[in-house]
Chains A and B, each alone.
Chain A
Amino acid sequence: MRELYARLKALYPLGELTEQRKNLAFVTVPAAHLRDTLLHLRDKEGFTHLVLLTAVDWLEEGQFQLTYLLNNRALACDLGLRVLIQRDTATMESIHDLWPTAATYQRELREMFGIDFPGSPRIEEEFILEGWNSIPPYRRDFDTLKYAQEAYAERPGRVTHDPETHMRLQMYPGQHPAGK
């Protein structure tokens, strides 16, 4: 993996190599160099299979991190390319022409994170969320509980109790209630 990294590093401006296991490593690459790096890995280094494409929402940093995980069957090892993109624009070049399966991942990312891949087939179509009416649910500023409470009706007859209040009413009713 180190040798591969050295070879790639000579060609592209890569970040540090993170070796998770002997046969799994990650490296950061600028968005502008992703396509070249992927092509090189696919055609020159035997990483012929796109295992997955996924994202992480770094809300505080204002960035999305895309991870393109590639597999080299012959060497039985995986390399992940990480690309950081601006969270506010949330757009990335499509790679469906390199691996057709990428179109499906990109459609999913568009729906779950709101990341656009212009030109990717059927990118506008709903994937698994039918009739979604809120911000994309995998964005970290999506408030799951609030959405659940607003979107789904309560079954009749539900009631809950705050432990502190319940204990006051049970154990010391009428005495100066603190704080609340």
Chain B
Amino acid sequence: MSFKDVLSPFTAWKHLFHDPVSIRNPIGRAAAPRYRGFHQNDIEKCIGCGTCETICQNGAIDMVPVEGIQTKQGDSGLRPRIDYGRCCWCALCVDVCMTKSLNMSNIYTWVESDGDAFRFIPGVDKKPWDDAAHGYRRPDDHQLTGPTRLREHMPEMEPEERIGSFAEIVHGYNVEAAKLEADRCVSCGLCVATCPTHMAIPQYIKAIRDGDYDLGVALLYETNPFSSICGRVCTRKCESTCAARHEGDAIAIRWLKRHIMDQVSDEQIKKVVGQPAAPTGRKVAIVGAGPAGLTAAFDLAKKGHQVVVYEALDKPGGMTRFGIPEYRLPYDVIDRDVDVIRSVGVDIRCNVRIGQDITLERLKSDFDAVLIALGLQDGRGTRIPGSDQPMVRKAVDLLRRVTAGEDIGTPRQAVVIGGGNVAMDIARTLARLQKKQYGEVKVILTALEDLPHFLADADEIKESGEEGIIILDSRGPQQVVIENGQVTGLKTWKVKAIFDEQGRFAPTYDETDEQFHPGTMVVEAIGQMADTSLLGDALTEQLAWQRGRLQVDAGGRTSEAWLWSAGDMVRGPDVVSAVADGHRVAASIHAAITQGVQQ
């Protein structure tokens, strides 16, 4: 040991009176701006989709209800609660947040002696870092689902090509494209509550990812025997609450449903759907072979009841066949869904008009229960001056006659009143007929609403425009102009407001802004109503009504114990809502007619 070795411990003493190099208190030192610290969650933006919980590799996140946050369409009402005993600050939860509501502040120090305090709901349980300006945010170009749906794989006919015929416009996805689109789904399930019939949407999308189409069909048929039809024309409310729409386009749920049905053969579908239960000996009569009537028929037949469906027209399908044009919904697609419904034993008798061919009384005595699902087959009129002329038509009448193959006397120039899907349907149907007959499209469509508030699907509006239909918004019909007994056009005023201060329908107009739209036919497409004349005077009197509609209970039962009612005539026009109603009513009928059996 040298002298230096002995002395060296003491040389450190020379630093005794120097300023320390180390930091006395590291707590309180600001972290880097993008440091990953305690979470921040904008609970107004958060939709409770649970993607953060799913991605968390430490099982640190729970989705919990929060007082004051309501469960509503597109928002589960749940919010993430984080257990910081498990969080490893990796920020995967921030990277996959669909709404960008979840972030991380750069605050990473917090002293608290109670361990449970380190489990809290960011944004709900107030913390000092809630408003911290810095921290980790999801970079703008990091998007889990990709901003756009696969449009390039959903080819459509070009406008010039499609206007010349009634062929289906939209082709389906192929397997590869469907998988890619299915991959965009995060399986949060927020859409299920929005779907009127609560289809197992995340599950059937997963079936596409897994390539298990039999499972897909089984899942579709659990809730919807009109899946080929809904896969094309559903109002797809589900897509309006899809979590992916916070990043860009919603998942193409409707096209994916269609894809499953397109992939599986008729025989295989019937095999998956299976055979009905053993006969119960109970009989149910259903009037109207539309979505509500046939869905109820399908459910009841599967339970072993004998079901007879009476249809006044020559083919089943109701409004899906006689209301929706062929270019949106080809007739063989309807036949396909109906055929599966028949395969479980449903007896559909067309060209039988109840009230004329068979009385309702007869059905009442021959069957254990009767369901009327008549639909809304009569068009409403505007009742403006001149609207009683023969060349002023109702859209639903014209659509029905076109489907039946009748000549409707296609006008060279037509004016359509209405801004809903039916208005688009008749305008585009007339355009096709004009193109065929005269080689040019001359259709003007006028609606009370301004364009952003049209009731029609955005695709319909866009495609109508592409097909040469002139759409005039905020125009109120005032008079059908008649010259020498012939319709020559429609006079409209500019709409100032549609509703009054109480929100009631009471349009007001700017009379100085008057326009004349030439046309030899004016078509009213402003809504439909039910023709309930088959009930007869005595029964109509006997039944309870509510604002013009049959009064029914939650199960669709009328005030007469033997009679149920379902579909558009009860719920308003919508295919998938009619399907949902068909299920509800079938359950109610089943419970009622098996009551005695079970006892």
- 28 CB-based A-B contacts, threshold 8 Å: A145-B56, A145-B58, A145-B59, A148-B58, A148-B59, A149-B59, A158-B62, A158-B83, A158-B119, A160-B61, A160-B63, A161-B62, A161-B64, A161-B76, A162-B50, A162-B63, A164-B189, A164-B190, A164-B193, A166-B76, A167-B71, A167-B192, A167-B193, A172-B198, A175-B584, A178-B192, A178-B199, A178-B223
**Residue contact A171 to B193, C-beta cutoff 8 Å:** yes
A21 within 8 A of partner (CB)? no
Rounded to whole angstroms, the CA-CA distance of A170 and B190 in the bound complex is: 12
B479 within 8 A of partner (CB)? no
**Residue contact A168 to B193, C-beta cutoff 8 Å:** yes
Q: A160-B64, A163-B48, A179-B222 are in contact. Are A168 and B198 (CB under 8 A)?
A: yes
**Residue contact B57 to A164, C-beta cutoff 8 Å:** no
* Contact residues, A122-160 vs B (CB, 8 A): 144-145, 148-149, 152, 154-155, 157-160
Give me the interface of B with A, judged by CB distance under 8 Å. 48-50, 53, 56-59, 61-65, 71-72, 76-78, 83, 85-86, 115-116, 119, 188-190, 192-193, 197-200, 202-204, 219, 222-223, 583-584, 587
**Residue contact B63 to A179, C-beta cutoff 8 Å:** no
Complex interface: chain B residues within 8 A of A144 (CB): 57-58
Complex interface: chain A residues within 8 A of B188 (CB): 163-164
Q: A148-B57, A167-B189, A170-B71 are in contact. Are A160 and B62 (CB under 8 A)?
A: yes
Rounded to whole angstroms, the CA-CA distance of A145 and B57 in the bound complex is: 4
Q: A152-B86, A155-B116, A158-B62 are in contact. Are A175 and B57 (CB under 8 A)?
A: no
Rounded to whole angstroms, the CA-CA distance of A171 and B71 in the bound complex is: 8
Give me the interface of A with B, judged by CB distance under 8 Å. 144-145, 148-149, 152, 154-155, 157-164, 166-168, 170-172, 175-180
Complex interface: chain A residues within 8 A of B584 (CB): 175
Rounded to whole angstroms, the CA-CA distance of A180 and B192 in the bound complex is: 11
Picked from A145, A148, A154, A175, the residue with its CB within 8 Å of the CB of B198 is A175
Chain A CB within 10 Å — which of B119, B188, B192 has the most?
Answer: B192
Picked from B49, B63, B198, B219, the residue with its CB within 8 Å of the CB of A177 is B198
Picked from B61, B64, B76, the residue with its CB within 8 Å of the CB of A167 is B76
Complex interface: chain B residues within 8 A of A158 (CB): 62, 83, 119
Complex interface: chain A residues within 8 A of B71 (CB): 166-167, 170-171
Complex interface: chain B residues within 8 A of A152 (CB): 58, 86
**Residue contact A178 to B57, C-beta cutoff 8 Å:** no
Complex interface: chain A residues within 8 A of B61 (CB): 160
Complex interface: chain A residues within 8 A of B85 (CB): 155
Q: Which residue of B lies closest to A170 (CB)?
A: B71
Complex interface: chain B residues within 8 A of A179 (CB): 192, 199-200, 202-204, 219, 222
Complex interface: chain B residues within 8 A of A161 (CB): 62-65, 76, 78
Complex interface: chain A residues within 8 A of B53 (CB): 160
Complex interface: chain B residues within 8 A of A167 (CB): 71, 76-77, 189-190, 192-193
**Residue contact B57 to A155, C-beta cutoff 8 Å:** no
**Residue contact A170 to B64, C-beta cutoff 8 Å:** no
Shortest B317–chain A CB gap in Å is 24
Rounded to whole angstroms, the CA-CA distance of A168 and B192 in the bound complex is: 8
Rounded to whole angstroms, the CA-CA distance of A82 and B249 in the bound complex is: 41
Q: Which residue of A lies closest to B90 (CB)?
A: A144
Q: A145-B58, A168-B198 are in contact. Are A178 and B222 (CB under 8 A)?
A: yes
Complex interface: chain A residues within 8 A of B189 (CB): 162-164, 167
16 more contacts with CB within 8 A, not counting A166-B71, A179-B222, are A144-B58, A154-B59, A155-B119, A158-B119, A160-B53, A160-B62, A161-B63, A163-B49, A163-B78, A164-B193, A167-B77, A167-B193, A176-B223, A176-B583, A179-B202, A179-B203
Shortest B298–chain A CB gap in Å is 13
Q: A166-B78, A178-B222 are in contact. Are A159 and B86 (CB under 8 A)?
A: no
Complex interface: chain B residues within 8 A of A170 (CB): 71, 77
Shortest A178–chain B CB gap in Å is 4
Rounded to whole angstroms, the CA-CA distance of A84 and B222 in the bound complex is: 50
**Residue contact A172 to B583, C-beta cutoff 8 Å:** no
Rounded to whole angstroms, the CA-CA distance of A171 and B76 in the bound complex is: 10
Complex interface: chain A residues within 8 A of B59 (CB): 145, 148-149, 154
**Residue contact A164 to B78, C-beta cutoff 8 Å:** no
**Shortest 8 CB-CB distances between A and B: which pairs?**
A179-B200, A164-B189, A163-B76, A160-B62, A170-B71, A144-B57, A167-B193, A178-B200
Q: A155-B119, A161-B65, A167-B71 are in contact. Are A176 and B58 (CB under 8 A)?
A: no
Shortest A146–chain B CB gap in Å is 9
Complex interface: chain A residues within 8 A of B48 (CB): 163
**Residue contact A172 to B193, C-beta cutoff 8 Å:** yes
**Residue contact B63 to A163, C-beta cutoff 8 Å:** yes
Shortest A10–chain B CB gap in Å is 42
Rounded to whole angstroms, the CA-CA distance of A158 and B489 in the bound complex is: 69
Rounded to whole angstroms, the CA-CA distance of A178 and B583 in the bound complex is: 12
Rounded to whole angstroms, the CA-CA distance of A170 and B50 in the bound complex is: 17
Shortest B31–chain A CB gap in Å is 23
Shortest B482–chain A CB gap in Å is 51
Q: Which residue of A lies closest to B202 (CB)?
A: A164
Rounded to whole angstroms, the CA-CA distance of A178 and B53 in the bound complex is: 23
Shortest A128–chain B CB gap in Å is 14
Q: Which residue of B lies closest to A156 (CB)?
A: B116
Q: Which residue of A lies closest to B118 (CB)?
A: A155
**Residue contact A159 to B193, C-beta cutoff 8 Å:** no
**Residue contact B83 to A166, C-beta cutoff 8 Å:** no
Picked from A145, A159, A171, A175, the residue with its CB within 8 Å of the CB of B62 is A159
Complex interface: chain A residues within 8 A of B63 (CB): 160-163, 166
Q: Which residue of A lies closest to B189 (CB)?
A: A164
Rounded to whole angstroms, the CA-CA distance of A149 and B62 in the bound complex is: 13
Rounded to whole angstroms, the CA-CA distance of A177 and B219 in the bound complex is: 11
Rounded to whole angstroms, the CA-CA distance of A168 and B223 in the bound complex is: 15
**Residue contact B192 to A164, C-beta cutoff 8 Å:** yes
**Residue contact B58 to A178, C-beta cutoff 8 Å:** no
Picked from B62, B77, B119, B198, the residue with its CB within 8 Å of the CB of A178 is B198
Rounded to whole angstroms, the CA-CA distance of A180 and B58 in the bound complex is: 26
Rounded to whole angstroms, the CA-CA distance of A160 and B188 in the bound complex is: 14
Rounded to whole angstroms, the CA-CA distance of A134 and B374 in the bound complex is: 65
Complex interface: chain B residues within 8 A of A172 (CB): 193, 198
Complex interface: chain B residues within 8 A of A168 (CB): 192-193, 198
Q: Which residue of A lies closest to B72 (CB)?
A: A171
Rounded to whole angstroms, the CA-CA distance of A131 and B584 in the bound complex is: 58
Shortest A132–chain B CB gap in Å is 16
Complex interface: chain A residues within 8 A of B50 (CB): 162-163
Q: Which residue of A lies closest to B587 (CB)?
A: A176
Complex interface: chain B residues within 8 A of A160 (CB): 53, 61-64
Rounded to whole angstroms, the CA-CA distance of A95 and B78 in the bound complex is: 54
